[in-house]
Amino acid sequence: MIPELGHLALILALCMAVVQSTFPLLGAWRGNQQWMGLAQPAAWGQFTFLLFAFGCLTWSFLTDDFSVTYVAENSNSLLPWYYKFSAVWGAHEGSLLLWALILGGWTFAVSIFSRQLPEDMLTRVLSIMGMISTGFLLFLIMTSNPFSRLLPQSPVDGNDLNPLLQDVGLIVHPPMLYMGYVGFSVAFAFAIAALLGGRLDAAWARWSRPWTLVAWTFLGIGIVLGSWWSYYELGWGGWWFWDPVENASFMPWLVGTALIHSLSVTEKRGVFKSWTVLLAIAAFSLSLLGTFLVRSGVLTSVHAFASDPTRGVFILAFLLVVVGSSLTLFALRAPVVKSQVSFGLWSRETFLLVNNLILVVAASTILLGTLYPLIIDTLSGAKLSVGPPYFNALFVPLMVILMMALAIGMLVRWKTTPLRWLQGMLVPVLIASVVLGMLAAFMLGDFHWAVLAACSLASWVVLAGLRDLQDKTRHKGWIQGIRSLSRSYWGMQAAHLGLAVSALGIVLSTQFTAERDLRMAPGESVELAGYHFVFDGTQHFEGPNFKSDYGTLRVSKDNRNVAVLHPEKRLYVVQRSVMTEAGIDAGFKRDLYVALGEPLEDGAWAVRIHIKPFVRWIWLGGVLMAIGGLLSMSDKRYRFKVRQRVSQSLGLKEAQV
């Protein structure tokens, strides 16, 4: 009964979405207030029904209703309750429902927090989001209904959740990622609504910027969680493989990064409007493309969790409709009158263009590398692989240029900057960063050019940030000056610091990793990079739905105990699959990482030992960037109360601010 109610709620949500995407838009076009008024209630109704449907599916999981096909395939009575809960989005159908729910949630949030927008603008935004929602709900109901039943022969017990997904990281990772993907639909909807309404101006950029920042932040957190999960769960010691599915999440993030920068120029100076609109369309289209790649099975990936050609065709068609119609609209309505804003070569405008160029080229490179095997296969039938060596070779130089430009971009001013002043600001920074880079490269161990470059670049970015801080506070003194800086300024500083920290983490952990695969019998020990590892053998132990060989390694350095590590080898009984749980001692300066391979004779095991210096910094940088996003988003100027006050004091109507 409950699943049927859920199914019904899905259909009702679709009806709501159809209403939300048609009448209000027509109303905004014809100036019909009543039809425009339908947008909000429809959005709320849609969200309520989706919430209800999601609740029904969750209930089916928690009560072990194995007559529901999706539950039978992805759950088991032995599964702990929290994994039963996260199993709701453990496979294609449920994760798509989560996607739709989050889209409904975003729409709801827009209708609440952007109430102060001019009515026609808000109506159009909600309508566009309704259209996207209609597409996804149709997809869900027509090709991937999570509520379909296995009747009359329903199984006694379920097939269990994929053991890879039985992990805390994977409870949180997909929702975060979807919050990001779907969040870009808001930026997209604002861009399309602005095109439709013919008001592509600084106000539009200001309205859509906080939403874009939130989406970007969530996507970043999602990517960081995914990378961290693959590091500790897969037992391979890596954290990024340039797999098509990883790329699918990284491309919208890169374009989103370009978008938040370009929005800031459009907001503050009113230039590059068309370009910003294009970026908003691109960010969302890449999110959709990611969905297509992951769910259609056209690309081979370790993540390929649902490959079904009919689904692929549906998403591809949807993608083409979205991209095609929005680009057509862009061609028809993009601003014809050029803005009369001038700026010089050494201006923030120019450097934000450079930022956008590099980020877009980086995203295109990844797109090219991801799709190239597909293109070659279609054209000539040859099988080709494009993997990490290619992506590293092209992506790393781009990031080097990005970081070089970043520091200058932080210091230059809007419109134009006196070159002499800029030299005065940057030459000391340049000297200091080269010196710091050299010091670090010689002190950290063997000399590598990569380390010298990374340390210099990171110092270049961080010191330029400090220099800017010094310049911004020169009139008021440090304490007073620092307090008067806006949150979005601190957000910018935090995010740029995050980039430097990540870059350091990536290069240092790659260059200085010490790695051994070896046979270890109980009592045997090995010395690696100054650390002494003693293997104490394994014990057998039984989890709720798995059997485990639980290893113990004691680690000491200079006769002091450092850590006791417990790598595990688990056999998940229902799916008969073997999983590695790495034993990790996490540290600010290094991680000790141990994984078990195969059992050998006499209680000995094949053991993998890694020492990874600064590997945490990779994710720490990601977290800093996310904090930066949140800080910027919470800046005073995006809060409506302030705007109301300002508009009242100026004697304007709210809508015009």
Which residues of this protein are in contact with other proteins, per CB under 8 A? 162-164, 234-238, 241, 243-244, 300-302, 304, 340-345, 349-350, 353-354, 357-358, 360-361, 364-365, 368-369, 372, 376, 380, 382-390, 393-394, 398, 515, 517-519, 569, 575-580, 582, 595-598, 600, 606-608
Measuring CA to CA, which residue among 38, 40, 33, 68 is closest to residue 53? 68
Residue placing its CB nearer to other proteins in the complex, 440 or 595: 595
Residue placing its CB nearer to other proteins in the complex, 313 or 384: 384
Measuring CA to CA, which residue among 520, 540, 548 is closest to residue 607? 520
Is 246:287 a contact under the CB 8 Å cutoff? Answer: no
User: What is the full DSSP assignment across 300-368?
Assistant: --TT-----HHHHHHHHHHHHHHHHHHHHHHHHHS--SPP-----SSSHHHHHHHHHHHHHHHHHHHHH
Residue placing its CB nearer to other proteins in the complex, 2 or 361: 361
Least Cβ distance, residue 365 to other proteins (angstroms): 4
Q: Which residues contact 296 (CB under 8 A, 6 or more apart)?
A: 307, 308, 309, 311, 312, 313, 315, 316
Residue placing its CB nearer to other proteins in the complex, 394 or 434: 394
| Residue 379 tokens, joined | 């054209």
Residue placing its CB nearer to other proteins in the complex, 29 or 372: 372
Residue placing its CB nearer to other proteins in the complex, 596 or 620: 596
Is 303:245 a contact under the CB 8 Å cutoff? Answer: yes
Residue placing its CB nearer to other proteins in the complex, 10 or 406: 406
Measuring CA to CA, which residue among 179, 322, 193 is closest to residue 253? 179
| Residue 564 tokens, joined | 């006791």
Least Cβ distance, residue 463 to other proteins (angstroms): 26
Least Cβ distance, residue 222 to other proteins (angstroms): 20
Residue placing its CB nearer to other proteins in the complex, 20 or 370: 370
Least Cβ distance, residue 374 to other proteins (angstroms): 12
Measuring CA to CA, which residue among 14, 172, 176, 165 is closest to residue 102? 176
Residue placing its CB nearer to other proteins in the complex, 56 or 359: 359
Q: How far is CA 502 from the centre of its chain?
A: 15
Residue placing its CB nearer to other proteins in the complex, 119 or 549: 549
Least Cβ distance, residue 400 to other proteins (angstroms): 12
Least Cβ distance, residue 257 to other proteins (angstroms): 16
Residue placing its CB nearer to other proteins in the complex, 518 or 534: 518
Least Cβ distance, residue 366 to other proteins (angstroms): 9
Give the phi and the psi of residue 540 in degrees, each rounded to 5. Answer: -90, 135
Least Cβ distance, residue 416 to other proteins (angstroms): 9
Measuring CA to CA, which residue among 319, 338, 316 is closest to residue 327? 319
Residue placing its CB nearer to other proteins in the complex, 4 or 157: 157
- The tokens 């910094």 sit on which residue? 617
Coil, strand or helix at 514: strand
Q: How far is CA 445 from the centre of its chain?
A: 34
Per-residue burial over 537-557, b if 16 or more Cβ lie within 10 Å, else e, is bbeeeebebbebbbbbbebee
Least Cβ distance, residue 204 to other proteins (angstroms): 21
Is 171:82 a contact under the CB 8 Å cutoff? Answer: yes
Q: Counting Cβ atoms within 10 Å, is residue 481 exposed (0-12), middle (13-18) or buried (19+)?
A: middle
Coil, strand or helix at 262: helix
CA distance linking residue 133 with residue 572, whole number of Å: 37
Least Cβ distance, residue 514 to other proteins (angstroms): 10
Residue placing its CB nearer to other proteins in the complex, 390 or 490: 390
Residue placing its CB nearer to other proteins in the complex, 54 or 550: 550
Least Cβ distance, residue 382 to other proteins (angstroms): 7
Least Cβ distance, residue 497 to other proteins (angstroms): 26
CA distance linking residue 325 with residue 342, whole number of Å: 32
Q: Which residues contact 108 (CB under 8 A, 6 or more apart)?
A: 43, 44, 47
User: What is the full DSSP assignment across 411-444?
Assistant: HSPSS---HHHHHHHHHHHHHHHHHHHHHHHHHS
CA distance linking residue 36 with residue 30, whole number of Å: 10
Amino acid at 35: W
Residue placing its CB nearer to other proteins in the complex, 133 or 227: 227
| Residue 127 tokens, joined | 């309508």
Is 259:191 a contact under the CB 8 Å cutoff? Answer: no
Is 592:572 a contact under the CB 8 Å cutoff? Answer: no
Least Cβ distance, residue 251 to other proteins (angstroms): 13
Least Cβ distance, residue 444 to other proteins (angstroms): 18
Least Cβ distance, residue 229 to other proteins (angstroms): 12
Measuring CA to CA, which residue among 93, 244, 235, 85 is closest to residue 170? 85
